Structure 1
Amino acid sequence: MLKYSIIIAVYNRTGEVKELLESAEKLDFERKEFEFLFVDDGSKDGFQDFIEGYKSSSNLQTRAIYQENKGPGEARNNGMQNAKGQYFIFVDSDCMFPPHWLRTIDNDLKTYKYEAFGGPDTCHESFSPLLKAITYSMTSKLGTGGTRGQKKSVGKFYPRSFNMGIHRKVFEKIGGMNRLRHGQDMDFSQRIYDAGYKVGLIYDAFVYHKRRTSLSNSTAKSLIGE
């Protein structure tokens, strides 16, 4: 059995997946220990042709499964049902990885024996001022930063689907995510807490989250100080 299945729900995001895989090629972790499992939720932008023709430069294990459009929760459930790993890790398609990401997760799991876990999201130095401003507003400890993985916060940490992992046994015990288009990860995290599993924040296992948030001109200008 593989140790990790990194499950990524995809819907018309081939461009994002290309950037995600470019960063994944630099992950500092043994290739035989993990896979990337993409769940295509009915894309019409050529994703299937791209992923089936993808040639990894570092021997990444990649595969994809396909379904009719049912939403991200159902896509992630489909991924868990087909995953080969002992742990399932969910990442959004608009994320990229620092090289140490999976190594950091692995080290903390060996030390703390988490049954569910997550890491923060942040911005890459290459992101636009607007994306950096959106990241700041969403990860501030006075906003949703506590639930998203900030050390100093006013809220309880809830692993979120942009950077969230569980042991296979959690899925086998409590089942998958609900069918909500939004918020299914928060509901899933609450059910994990309610079931008594050990949940941990792995603070240094962050991802670069590009986000697809669109803003009005006035809101965007206020965020970037114009």
Structure 2
Amino acid sequence: MKFYSIIIPVYNRPDEIRELLESLTRQTYNKFEVLVIEDGSDKKCEDICASFSDKIYIKYFYKENTGQGFSRNYGYERAKGEYFVVFDSDCIIPSNYFEVVDEFLRDYPFDAYGGPDAALDSFTSTQKAISYSMTSFFTTGGIRGGKLHVGTFRPRSFNMGISRMVYEKTRGYVITRMAEDLEFSIRIEKAGFKIGLIPNAVVYHKRRTDLKQFYKQLFFFGRGRINLYRFYKEELKPVHAFPSVFSLGLIVWLISFFIYSPVFRIGSILVILYCFILFMDSVFKAKSFKVAILSIAASFTQLVAYGMGFLKELITYIKEPKPSSPNK
């Protein structure tokens, strides 16, 4: 039976960390320690962490703000477990999570794993809609932890575990923001470690509470894809440009409204069809018409935000001075 070190970076989210820690007190498998890394927050959660010291083995650290990637490294450096597990501070962990993970790793000894995320019934309709848009095949291709996904599975840091050996060989994150988890996953893979999905290692992920915050987050994700290209040119595929193409297509469609061209008529049919697919898929999964309607708004927000962030960082990259060839 493994001993796990749980690493939780947190930045100005004391209320969220309380819910996460409370969920950890209910684990059916309790061979773990918890390291909370306060990343230069103004709203500290030290007192909240201290209130759980009689329920779980917890250590609190405060450091200057360096971003989530380097905060995870800070935790890795101080962890005592055989296996390190990272959660985002806005997650709630099912009571059987570590029991599921430990049983799975005994049969399939992955060096690194990732798990899916889902929404609780207690989440708001907007949070459920955002969860749908981030996990649906019709928006992300199911790449964020689904059993069926497009391309190579890469663990994401909201729900990710690595062995101590992985950390000792890779030394953790080399960038702290903008696709830092993808860069890390790719480096783990290139180092020859075995990576996989644990389908039942689900976490309940709150994400953002409104579409404005969600837009800002996904805009950053879009920029991150181009930032990843700076490290791994082969990781930028045509499919990653889809949100940008989608966004530009929406702009053309809206402009065509004023001249009522064939472009507007065709575009309207496509938009209505896509909305219908999203609505029906969300109704089937969430069993709520309200969530289904909001899922359409969340999906469009996600695609446009990611697409605009992608284009912004692409323009920045094109403008960057490139190193001259050594032959010149």
1:168 aligns with 2:164: yes
Q: Secondary structure at the match of 2:36?
A: strand
1:140-170 per-position Cα deviation (integer Å, ceiling 9, x unaligned):
1233353311011223211010000000011
Q: 1:200 to 1:67 in 2, by over 3 A?
A: same
1:83 aligns with 2:154: no
Q: Distance in 1 between matches of 2:191 and 2:142?
A: 21
Alignment equivalent of 1:147, drawn from 109, 123, 143: 143
Q: Distance in 2 between matches of 1:54 and 1:99?
A: 16
Alignment equivalent of 2:294, drawn from 208, 223, 226: 223
Q: Secondary structure at the match of 1:105?
A: helix
Question: How many residues are treated as equivalent by the alignment?
Answer: 221
Q: 1:34 to 1:129 in 2, by over 3 A?
A: same
Which residue in 1 is equivalent to 2:14?
A: 14
Which residue in 2 is equivalent to 1:193?
A: 189
Q: Distance in 2 between matches of 1:75 and 1:214?
A: 26
The range that moved more, 85-94 or 133-142, is 133-142
Contact 2:87 2:159 (C-alpha < 8 Å) held by counterparts: yes
Alignment equivalent of 1:126, drawn from 122, 126, 130: 122
Q: 1:151 to 1:224 in 2, by over 3 A?
A: closer
Structure 1 residue runs without a partner (length 5+):
none
The structure that is strand-richer by fraction is 1
Q: 1:62 to 1:216 in 2, by over 3 A?
A: closer
Q: Give the Å deviation of 1:182.
A: 2.6
Q: Give the Å deviation of 1:65.
A: 1.5
Q: Distance in 1 between matches of 2:73 and 2:60?
A: 14
Contact 1:39 1:65 (C-alpha < 8 Å) held by counterparts: yes
Q: Give the Å deviation of 1:135.
A: 0.6
Q: Distance in 1 between matches of 2:36 and 2:75?
A: 8
Which residue in 2 is equivalent to 1:45?
A: 43
Q: Distance in 2 between matches of 1:215 and 1:144?
A: 17
Q: 1:148 to 1:14 in 2, by over 3 A?
A: same
Where relative contact order (Cα < 8 A, 6+ residues apart) is larger, the structure is: 1
Alignment equivalent of 2:101, drawn from 91, 105, 111: 105
Q: Distance in 2 between matches of 1:189 and 1:114?
A: 13
The range that moved more, 81-90 or 171-180, is 171-180
Which residue in 2 is equivalent to 1:54?
A: 52
Q: 1:127 to 1:193 in 2, by over 3 A?
A: same
Q: Distance in 1 between matches of 2:146 and 2:8?
A: 23
Q: Distance in 1 between matches of 2:141 and 2:10?
A: 25
Q: Give the Å deviation of 1:55.
A: 4.1
TM-score (norm 2): 0.63
Amino acid in structure 1 at the alignment position of 2:36:
F
Contact 1:137 1:143 (C-alpha < 8 Å) held by counterparts: yes
Q: Distance in 1 between matches of 2:56 and 2:141?
A: 32
The range that moved more, 2-11 or 119-128, is 2-11
The structure that is helix-richer by fraction is 2
Q: Give the Å deviation of 1:6.
A: 0.6
TM-score (norm 1): 0.90
Alignment equivalent of 2:133, drawn from 127, 134, 137: 137
Q: Give the Å deviation of 1:44.
A: 1.7
Q: Distance in 1 between matches of 2:138 and 2:179?
A: 20
Q: Give the Å deviation of 1:88.
A: 0.5
Contact 2:129 2:292 (C-alpha < 8 Å) held by counterparts: no
The range that moved more, 170-179 or 12-21, is 170-179
Amino acid in structure 2 at the alignment position of 1:200:
G
Amino acid in structure 2 at the alignment position of 1:28:
T
Q: Distance in 1 between matches of 2:141 and 2:58?
A: 31
1:68-120 per-position Cα deviation (integer Å, ceiling 9, x unaligned):
01110110000000001010000000000111111100001110111000100
Q: Give the Å deviation of 1:216.
A: 4.2
